[in-house]
C-alpha cells in the first residue's frame, strides 16, 4: 500500500500553491514556478495538474498571465481528495475493497479493514492548509494572520 509518486508530488506542489495563495489569493501561478521551488520535473507536474484540474482541485488559466490556482481554500482540500483523484483510495488488502469472499471468516481481514479506516481518517482529516502550517512550523516561520 504505497502512495504513488504522482500523489506525493501533487501534495507537495499543492502545498506550494497554497503558499502562493496566501500572498496573492486567486492569482494563477505558473507551474514552472512551483516545479522550480519544489525541485520537481515540470513535465511530470503538467500531467499531475491536468488530473487535479479534471478532479476540481485546481483551476487553470491560459495565456501570459496564466497558471494554476486552488479551486477551493487549502483548508478544504484534503490529502485524501488528492490521492483519490490521482490513484483512487489506497487500500492495504483486497478485503478492504470487498473483493475477497473469505473476509467474513478471516481474522486478518479485520486488521486490514482497521488499517484502511485509520489511513482514510488521517488522509481525510489532513488538509493542504494543515501541511502548509506544518511546513512553516518546521522551517521556523511564524503563521500569518489576516484581518
Closest CA to 4 of 91, 67, 65: 91
Question: Which is more confidently placed, 114 or 99?
Answer: 114
Percent of the chain residues past pLDDT 90, beyond the cut: 63
Question: What is the CATH code of the structural domain delimited by 5-138?
Answer: 1.10.10.10
Q: Please write the tens of the pLDDT for every residue from 87-107.
A: 988 877 666 666 666 666 777
Confidence of residue 48 (pLDDT cuts 50, 70, 90): very high
User: Which range, of 5-14, 15-24, 110-119, 130-139, averages the lowest pLDDT?
Assistant: 110-119
Confidence of residue 57 (pLDDT cuts 50, 70, 90): very high
pLDDT at 29 over 90: yes
Domain ranges within the chain, ordered by starting residue: 5-138
Strand, helix or coil at 147? Answer: coil
DSSP sequence for 4-69:
PHHHHHHHHHHHHHHHHHHHSTT--B-HHHHHHHHT--HHHHHHHHHHHHHTTSEEEE-STT-EEE
Burial of 130 from C-beta contacts in 10 A (0-12 / 13-18 / 19+): middle
Mean pLDDT of 36-45: 95
Confidence of residue 142 (pLDDT cuts 50, 70, 90): low
Contact 80, 120 (CB under 8 A): yes
Amino acid at each position: 500500500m504505497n502512495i504513488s509518486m504522482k500523489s506525493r508530488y501533487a501534495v507537495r506542489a499543492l502545498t506550494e500553491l497554497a503558499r502562493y495563495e496566501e500572498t496573492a489569493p486567486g492569482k494563477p501561478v505558473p507551474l514552472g514556478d512551483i516545479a522550480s521551488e519544489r525541485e520537481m520535473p515540470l513535465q511530470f507536474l503538467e500531467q499531475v495538474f491536468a488530473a487535479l484540474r479534471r478532479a476540481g482541485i485546481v483551476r487553470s488559466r491560459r495565456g501570459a498571465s496564466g497558471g494554476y490556482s486552488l479551486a477551493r481554500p487549502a483548508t478544504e482540500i484534503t490529502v485524501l481528495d488528492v490521492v483519490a483523484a490521482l490513484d483512487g483510495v489506497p487500500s492495504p488488502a483486497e478485503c478492504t475493497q470487498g473483493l475477497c469472499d473469505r473476509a467474513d471468516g478471516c481474522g486478518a481481514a479485520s486488521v486490514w479493514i482497521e488499517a484502511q479506516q485509520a489511513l482514510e481518517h488521517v488522509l481525510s482529516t489532513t488538509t493542504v492548509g494543515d501541511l502548509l502550517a506544518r511546513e512553516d512550523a518546521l522551517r521556523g516561520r511564524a503563521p500569518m494572520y489576516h484581518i
